[in-house]
Amino acid sequence: MWLLDQWAERHIRDAQKKGEFDDLPGSGEPLVLEDDSHISPELRAGYRLLKNAGCLPPELEQRREAVELADLLKGLRQDDPRHSELSRRLTLLELKLRQAGMNTDFLHGEYGERLMQKLNEE
């Protein structure tokens, strides 16, 4: 845990022990986890319908597909006839994601490895 995180956690625990959070507004009420106040009222029903149907924005759909292709490629040998086609599709998707301004480090496994190392250190 970072030093700042430890400091914040200590202050939160101290405030809890002193009872500073006991009389906050909304105490004991369920949290509203789906805040759609940033969406105009005319579009909220449509957005909720699409979300419940499992539809994603195009960039996230492409990201999901790229992750699936990367997983498939990990399970194939390079001499497999499907490997070159899947690799070509993954490269194309990665290019589209980069053009949309998205980071594609998640496709190369470096991020996951660094995250696991960080979690294991703590």
Instruction: Identify the residue whose tokens are 């980069």.
Output: 98
| Per-residue pLDDT tens digits of the chain, which is 122 residues long | 567 788 889 999 999 999 998 888 888 888 777 778 888 889 888 888 888 888 877 777 888 898 899 888 888 888 888 888 988 999 998 998 888 888 887 777 666 666 667 777 76
Q: Which two tokens stand for residue 2?
A: 């970072």
Whether the CB-CB separation of 98 and 104 falls below 8 Å is answered with yes
Q: pTM score, two decimals?
A: 0.50
SS (H, E, C) 15-33: HHHHCCCCCCCCCCCCCCC
